Structure 1
Amino acid sequence: MSQAVPLPAHPLTVAAVQGTPVPGDVAGNAVRAAALVGRAEGARIVVLPELYLPAYHPPALAADPVGTDVAASADGRVADARLDPLRAAARDGGTTVVVGAAVRHPDGRRTISSLVVDRSGAVRAAYDKQQLWSGERELFDPGRRGATLVVDDWRFGLGICYDGCFPEHGRAAALDGAHGYLCPSGYLAGSAHRRDLYYAARALDNTMYVVFANAVDGADPWRFNGGAAVYDPQGRPLVRGADSGEDVLVATLDPAALAATRAAHSMLADRLTEPGLPRTTLVG
């Protein structure tokens, strides 16, 4: 499908946030998120870290699932009054906000999710993380499908942290016509090499922009390493945060750069349906 989707007509300004939420404090973290959104001047999309609303803190998530979750209806709508400051920030700024949450579904599933707060202030559980990492499997259920977010005439695949470690996840977004890939994440201190490699690679693999948000700081063993970034379609950082300290990184996505990259590096057009098949086995 990627070849049939036109390129955007106009640039789009986005922001990747690295923030330090308080474990278990959904209401307070919504206020903090609203303040961070307010700092993203001119951004039409703001991406905050994985599980930002309850904080990525497994002990708190295990101890108080009722207090740390937000409930979604069968059609994904979230009507939690604790998120009102974030709704107001989206409305006031004309900004679409992507923020990490723990979501409880009507069928009892608990997922690591990206909420999308649109410019009217409506909140929807838009995407549930499909690739759960390590101990996440003890607390959460995997998502069942991918999702694409359209803002203006830009299409963005949604991923969350470990999803981005799987090339096929980003490729599925690109084949759905994505011009970019939004990845709220939670990378722990000591993982900077992988943090900086995976999302740059997904950008270049698929000649698309990547917006990578990450948690930062906190207390060991749940201390995070920032490095939020926006990567261009060749995997080069347009902006990147430091390894500590909250920050809001703003960059503008350029459809001309997207077009030039896809013309010069035509992996999406040239890809084989079944690469490497059939195979020959050699004995040395």
Structure 2
Amino acid sequence: MTLTVASVSANFTRDLDQNYALIEQLLQDARARGARLVAFPEAAIGGYLSSLGNHGDTVQNTTRSLPPAIRLDGPEIRRVQELAGDTIVTIGFCELDDDGSTRYNAAVCLDGGQIYGSYRKVHQPLGENMSYSAGSEYTAFDTPLARIGMQICYDKAFPEAARMLALDGAEIVVSMSAWPAARTATAENLQDDRWTYRFNQFDIARALDNQVFWMASNQSGTFGSLRYVGNAKVVDPGGNILATTLLGAGLAVAEIDVDETFRAMRGGMFHLRDRRPDVYGPVTSTESASATRWTELAHA
């Protein structure tokens, strides 16, 4: 069965009404192109942090310019469900835990009638832990279209994150980002920036590592001190980019066939089958010679 999917590159800010209007317009555009699964970026409801590092709105005890904290069962998520209708949507937001004080950089997968799964970002870069608590698990979940796994931004730099989802049966991994250009020595053309290069290479590698379809969404434009690199894309299990927005805002739309592609790609070399967990012990160890050495150098 073929399925049309769309990954979003767009700019989302603190203005929720503006965010909802943009979500609605992008959903209309995606549906017009036949998309049944649409991946919005990290922090598409309420925007991301305006800076990264030990300053500005990453300081945990300030409320200046922090994203609005939203409950999973709150009116903001219900509004997205109303806009989604029969389209399955993944979207990022700042989740407020039941304790009323703990925030997570989170994502949810939903349609108009159901929430299929949610995720709290596990890996945190450059002081993000001063604004958000970290999640602690990767699980895939079933939807009417495919079994889906979600991750957020920096997670894509860790092969273990995507592998956990693939081992849990994910056929499509949605990677939502607010991925900026490099903070220093930024390339004049952001498409040539080294952080853009890393973003794209991670997407290709994680799809190919795990032989899954990979949908990468990202913020575009600017917010605070951050310049986002767009490059929303759909990648097939062979690491081939089927569609991309490059730096621009818009939709990367592709038609995929999960069952047929998996039969073709996994019929010979099947990476998940051919693993050797018996020799991977150090991968899950909290101690490693390399990590210890570089930690010591960083604090020297």
How far is 1:221 from its partner?
A: 2.5
Q: CA deviation at 1:202?
A: 0.6
Q: Does 1:28 align with 2:18?
A: yes
Q: Is the 8 A contact 2:117 2:141 kept in 1?
A: no
The code of the aligned residue for 1:246 comes to A
Task: Give 3-state SS (helix, strand or coil) of 1:159's partner.
Answer: strand
**Cα contact 1:184–1:212 (8 A) shared by 2:** yes
Find 2:275's aligned residue among 241, 252, 271: 271
Deviations 1:117-150 (A, max 9, x none): 3232x45771100111112111000012223232
The residue type equivalent to 2:9 in the other structure is: Q
Q: Against the structure 1 CA distance between its residues 90 and 173, is the aligned structure 2 distance closer, same or farther, given a 3 Å change threshold?
A: same
Q: Partner amino acid for 1:118?
A: D
Structure 1 residue corresponding to 2:74, chosen from 71, 75, 79 = 79
The amino acid of 1:33's aligned partner reads I
1:147 to 139, 142, 145: 139
Amino acid at match of 1:106: D
Equivalent in the alignment of 1:7: none
- Structure 1 residues 185-196: aligned runs within 5 Å: 185-189=177-181, 190=193, 191-196=195-200
Alignment of 1:60-99 (within 5 A): 62-65=63-66, 68-72=68-72, 78-80=73-75, 82-83=76-77, 85-91=79-85, 94-99=86-91
- C-alpha distance 248-222 of structure 1, shift in aligned 2 (>3 A): same
The structure-2 alpha-carbon separation of the partners of 1:44 and 1:263, relative to structure 1 and needing over 3 Å to count, comes to same
Give RMSD over aligned pairs: 2.1
Unaligned segments of structure 2, at least 5 residues: 51-55, 182-192, 283-300
The aligned length equals 257
Out of 26-35 and 135-144, give the one that drifted further.
26-35
2:217 corresponds to 1:218: no
Q: Are 1:234 and 2:238 an aligned pair?
A: yes
1:95 deviates by 0.5
Q: Could you tell me whether the CA contact under 8 Å between 1:31 and 1:85 is conserved in 2?
A: no
Pair 124,181 (structure 1): closer, same or farther in 2 beyond 3 Å: closer
* Mapped contact 1:113–1:125 kept (Cα < 8 A): no
- Equivalence for 2:3: 12
Alpha carbons of 1:83 and 1:277: their partners in 2 closer, same or farther (altered >3 Å)?
Answer: closer
Give percent identity, aligned residues only: 28
**Using the alignment, how far apart are the partners of 1:132 and 1:158 within structure 2?**
15
> How far off is 1:12 after superposition?
2.1
- Do residues 118 (structure 1) and 111 (structure 2) align? yes
Normalised by the length of structure 1, the TM-score is: 0.84
